[in-house]
Amino acid sequence: MPPSSPHVAIVGAGPAGSSAATFLAQQGARVTLLERNHFPRDKTCGDGCTPRALWMLERLGLGALPGTEAAMVDSVYTISPGGVVLEIGIPARLFGGKACAIPRQVLDERLVQRAVQAGAELREGVRVEGIERDASGILLRCRDGEPLRADVVLGCDGSPSVVRRALGAPDFPEHEGAFAVRAYYENVQLSHPRSMAFFWEEELLPAYGWIFPLPGGRANVGLGMRADQLAASGAKLPELMEKFCASPNVARELAGARRLGKVKGHHLPFGSFARHTIFDRALLLGDAAGFVNPLTGEGIEFALESGAFAAEAVAEAVASGDFSARGLGGYGRRWETRFRTAFHLNRRLMRAFERPRLLDRIFRAADRSARVRDELIDILSGEATSISWRFLAAVVLGR
């Protein structure tokens, strides 16, 4: 960045905020990272990092996560509604074929430490309550604190987002978001300890659940469902979670295990509704922008990558001296190119994954054909951007 470095205020020190802070500080920007909590802090999540999320962690200098903190996985284990069981290895072509699960309490602290090490100033216990923009900059109003002036603000405050609302972006409609719950278990002895396990239990559809292994014999167990379907069903997610844990496939995995703490839930916005992300002197990143895979609920990789895209766009705005939405427009071009097709494909695939017989056919086809398995692992890893005719033919024709 040129000598007159901009002052970038980042609201929220989750994966999006810490990633943006690290890349911006490395470019020489003055960065203030505002976080309402104190680290280490928890974040309700499945704790699963896709192969691409691991690649982003490497780019941020966090490649070597110790085994005491992260459980490495190299396959996906799934059971369809009709009981078709698959275990598919993550191929090396997907960022080396590795994924992991790491408690967010640990991951987010590592990420924020990295941002501070890169030169960002972290202010903890600061809740941003609103922003005001004028020709000369941004003013952030903080509860119990002095207002902060900056040249640009990055809204990385998750869902729901104070910055998003202050910028006038619309809320996510019910059908463009989900709710998910998770609980931690200890003393777990999983049948596939190096797999991320996904379960589509017929009586719980369209909800689906997961078990992700964690170090020290622990696991993250959870369940999610689209918000409008949940409201229409009249069901409560914590009750569905109890049914999920009692279902035979899941109960077998959790035999002898003990639940730790409470079942906790949170909202997930869908990437298929992500379109309001660039404003004069402001960008929205991560969940605040809606960057979550509608099918799998994964958002960490998008949060991390949107941090890199935002840093590049801010550098361009600095070079042109233009902090308007136009000057920051490179952000939109970057994320649209990388995320948009996948978000829309996964939103469409969601419908197929809600239909038990169709899901059984997909899994049977994958069991028969290495080519279909290859596409299915791309879908479950969040890397698919299209579905081939061969895949469709194998599912529809059953051969």
Ligand X SMILES: Cc1cc2nc3c(=O)[nH]c(=O)nc-3n(C[C@H](O)[C@H](O)[C@H](O)COP(=O)(O)OP(=O)(O)OC[C@H]3O[C@@H](n4cnc5c(N)ncnc54)[C@H](O)[C@@H]3O)c2cc1C
Q: Is 230 or 395 the residue whose CB approaches ligand X more closely?
A: 230
Distance set, CA 272 to CA 138, 276, 343, 358, 387 (Å): 29, 11, 5, 23, 17
Applying CB under 6 A, among 51, 206, 213, 299 the residue interacting with ligand X is: 299
Minimum distance, C-beta of residue 290 to ligand X, in the bound complex (Å) = 10
Q: Is 222 or 330 the residue whose CB approaches ligand X more closely?
A: 222
User: Judged by CB under 6 A, does residue 17 bind ligand X?
Assistant: yes
Q: What residues are paired with 117 via a beta bridge? A: none
Cβ-proximal residue to ligand X, closest one: 299
Applying CB under 6 A, among 8, 31, 35, 226 the residue interacting with ligand X is: 35
Rounded Cα distance between 12 and 158, Å, is 7
The DSSP line for 38-82 is: -SS----S--EE-HHHHHHHHHTT-----TTT-EEE-EEEEE-TT
Applying CB under 6 A, among 65, 303, 342, 376 the residue interacting with ligand X is: 303
Minimum distance, C-beta of residue 176 to ligand X, in the bound complex (Å) = 14
Rounded Cα distance between 163 and 153, Å, is 9
Beta strands in the chain, from DSSP E residues, in sequence order: 7-11, 30-35, 48-49, 71-73, 75-79, 85-89, 99-101, 121-124, 127-134, 137-143, 148-150, 152-155, 177-186, 195-199, 208-214, 218-226, 258-269, 278-279, 282-284
Question: x/- string (CB under 6 A) for ligand X, residues 211-230?
Answer: -----------x--------
Minimum distance, C-beta of residue 368 to ligand X, in the bound complex (Å) = 29
Applying CB under 6 A, among 8, 10, 11, 31 the residue interacting with ligand X is: 11
**Of the ranges 92-100, 130-138, 178-186, 318-326, which one interacts with ligand X (CB under 6 A)?**
178-186
Instruction: Report the 10 Å Cβ neighbour count for 126.
Output: 20
Q: Is 6 or 297 the residue whose CB approaches ligand X more closely?
A: 297
> Which residues contribute to the site for ligand X (CB under 6 A)?
11-17, 34-37, 43-48, 127-128, 156-158, 162, 180-182, 222, 266, 268, 286-288, 292, 297-301, 303
